[in-house]
Amino acid sequence: MATEIYKIHKVKLFDGTELEISPLKIKYLREVMDTFMYIKKVSNDDEAMLVLIECVRISMKQYKPEISSSIADIEDNLDLPTVHKILEFSCGIKINKDSSESVKSQAESSDSGTSWEDLDLAKLESEIFLLGAWKDYEDLEKSLSMTELFTTLSSKRELDYEEKKFLAAIQGVDLDQQVNPDRGQKEWEDLKARVFSKGQASDSKDILALQGQNAQKYGFGIGMGLDYEDLRTQ
């Protein structure tokens, strides 16, 4: 069976209309999570539910724009269990109506709300924007959900590594064998030195490492006003 990037869940409106709920695109998720943060300021469950219903209203901009104009639209078309399902399926906010814990407390402890505050979304989007598939960042956010963003980003990083591994192999360096996080930063710098010197440098302190891109990084190097004599050939 083919691997699923995400699951699509189905819910029904009062009139029987069936909606397919997949993870929110980043554009709408951003609006939902910004609204969701107000849950920390409410004083009771009634106010907490209004915040959650507003989150569902925003999400309807993606799933069914016709009922996204007001909270009244949501109340006229969805029952409370369906509201809870949409929150969970669209953005991971889980509310258990049978729990003894208050709605406010459940919402505040939701994993989605906690992680969103710490997420450096701009950095992630900047990295994937380099693929050139979107005209601007708004276009990117309208096209991808967080699940799609992470999946695409993971594939991009794997491809980048494969390219680096290929270029290193041309220089006689096996990245899979030599790159080991446990060896620390020095080993990584030594590895880059061998790549930039085409296998001639023994470590990052070797003058032979100051070539090409490595030389440009420091503003000097072999071929850039610095020369050397290889005594080993004499």
Sorted by sequence, the CB contacts under 8 Å of residue 179 that are 6+ apart come out as 188, 191
Q: Is the pTM of this model over 0.85?
A: no
* Cβ(149)–Cβ(5) below 8 Å: no
Q: How many Cα atoms within 13 Å fall on the side-chain side of residue 102?
A: 13
Tokens of 91: 């953005």
User: Where exactly are the structural domains of the chain?
Assistant: 9-119, 122-161, 171-233
Give the separation between CA 86 and CA 46, rounded to whole angstroms.
19
Residues (pLDDT < 50) of the chain are 111-114, 181-184, 213, 218-228
Which residues 6+ apart lie within 8 Å of 32 measured at CB?
Answer: 24, 55, 58, 59, 90, 91
pLDDT at 32: 93
Yes or no: say if 74 and 56 are a contact pair by the CB < 8 Å rule. yes
Q: Residue 93's pLDDT is what?
A: 86
Task: Assign 11 to helix, strand or coil.
Answer: strand
Within 10 Å of residue 112's Cβ, how many Cβ atoms?
Answer: 19
- Per-residue confidence (pLDDT) for residue 112, from 0 to 100: 44
- 41 CB-side CA count, 13 A: 7
